[in-house]
Amino acid sequence: MKQYFNFSWCLLLFLAGISFKGAAQDIRVEARLDQNIIALGDQTRLHLIVHLPVKAHIDFPALSDTISSKVQIVEMGKTDTVADKNNPGSRTISRQYTITSFDAGLHVIPAYVFHSKNAGFSTQALPLEVKAVKVDTTKAIYDIKEPLAVSYSFMDWLRDHWQWVLFPVLGVLILVALLYYLIKKHKNKPVQVREVQPLIPIHTIALDKLQALKGKKLWQQGQVKQYYSELSDIIREYLEKRYPIHALEQTSAEILSGLRNLNIAAENMDRLGQLLILSDLVKFAKEKPLPADHEQSMENAIGFVMHTIAAPSSNEDQTENRSNGYV
């Protein structure tokens, strides 16, 4: 029995080793240079590349700002991942570094180790030859030449900045054309003659509105409150245009008090008082007048307007009446 267990453990370890070896063989790493030979101070790119299965994970080696005392890293590029078109289960991850050197000679880019979960993978070392600038020591050393003066004419400036000239000129031309079109259109536009509408006296407007209200027959249809509301508004509008009071904003008591100082007959004041007071009682106190009261209120409104008609006798009076309510 003991020999059987030992044989089972050996078999499992053997199969696991084969599986791990197969997975490791699926991962390949490499390093390469764009140029193995550069001039002193020139730059080249170092590429670190790994080929591995899609589900596998591996860590790139961490590089600082120098590869060695002779080779420096100028810039580290992005990490790119590319899927293998021929093998959908594989991918390639690459990272590039821009490197340079200011020491002539043959330098070595060391091998770098990639680490996966179970193993490490090493790249090959790369040679980098840096060539010095050849100096002819047989010739004399000259001073640095002064900067050359280059002539720069207006035409040279215009050739370099033609957009700055063209677009403003086009804008001015378009603006001039638009102004010319508008002026020409305005000159050719026919003159419209407005017909002078005859002035309608305010008493005529008020009487027309009273007749229209009478024709609605509101109180006959049970709309007593609406009837007195419209009747009161017509008379208030007439009073505001006929006399120097703000009848539309005042209470009935304020209207009657303000009119007592004017030359209005007592009979007309009585007509107006009956109309305004009864309208307030209907609108605010829910008073229910008799049909005779409805007719009397309309007659008082018409009578008040008819007996307070303004009679202009001169141009100044007409101008004043026009400003006070003629339309």
- Looking at residue 189, its pLDDT comes to 67
CA–chain centroid gap for 319, Å, is 53
| Residue 305: burial class (beta carbons within 10 Å; 0-12, 13-18, 19+) | buried
| Residue 238: burial class (beta carbons within 10 Å; 0-12, 13-18, 19+) | buried
- Looking at residue 283, its pLDDT comes to 87
Model confidence over 211-233: pLDDT tens digits? 999 899 998 999 989 999 999 99
| Residue 143: burial class (beta carbons within 10 Å; 0-12, 13-18, 19+) | exposed
Please report the domains of the chain, with CATH numbers, ordered by start residue: 25-131 (2.60.40.10), 202-310 (no CATH)
- Looking at residue 138, its pLDDT comes to 77
Please list the pLDDT of the chain residue by residue as tens digits (327 residues).
444 434 444 444 444 444 444 445 588 999 999 999 999 989 999 999 999 898 888 999 988 888 888 899 999 888 898 888 888 889 999 999 999 999 999 999 999 999 988 888 999 999 999 998 777 777 777 777 778 777 888 888 888 888 888 889 999 999 999 998 888 887 776 666 666 667 889 999 999 999 999 899 998 999 989 999 999 999 999 999 999 888 888 898 998 888 888 888 889 899 988 989 989 998 898 888 899 888 998 998 899 999 989 876 544 444 444 444 433
- Looking at residue 157, its pLDDT comes to 85
Query: Which pTM value belongs to this model?
Result: 0.40
Q: State the Cα torsion 176-181-186-189 to the nearest 10°.
A: 170
- Looking at residue 193, its pLDDT comes to 63
Model confidence over 17-48: pLDDT tens digits? 444 444 455 889 999 999 999 999 899 999 99
- Looking at residue 2, its pLDDT comes to 43
- Looking at residue 190, its pLDDT comes to 67
Q: How far is residue 211's CA from residue 297's CA, in Å, rounded to a whole number?
A: 13
- Looking at residue 195, its pLDDT comes to 65
Give every CB contact of residue 82 below 8 A, 6+ residues apart in sequence.
91, 92, 93, 94
- Looking at residue 236, its pLDDT comes to 92
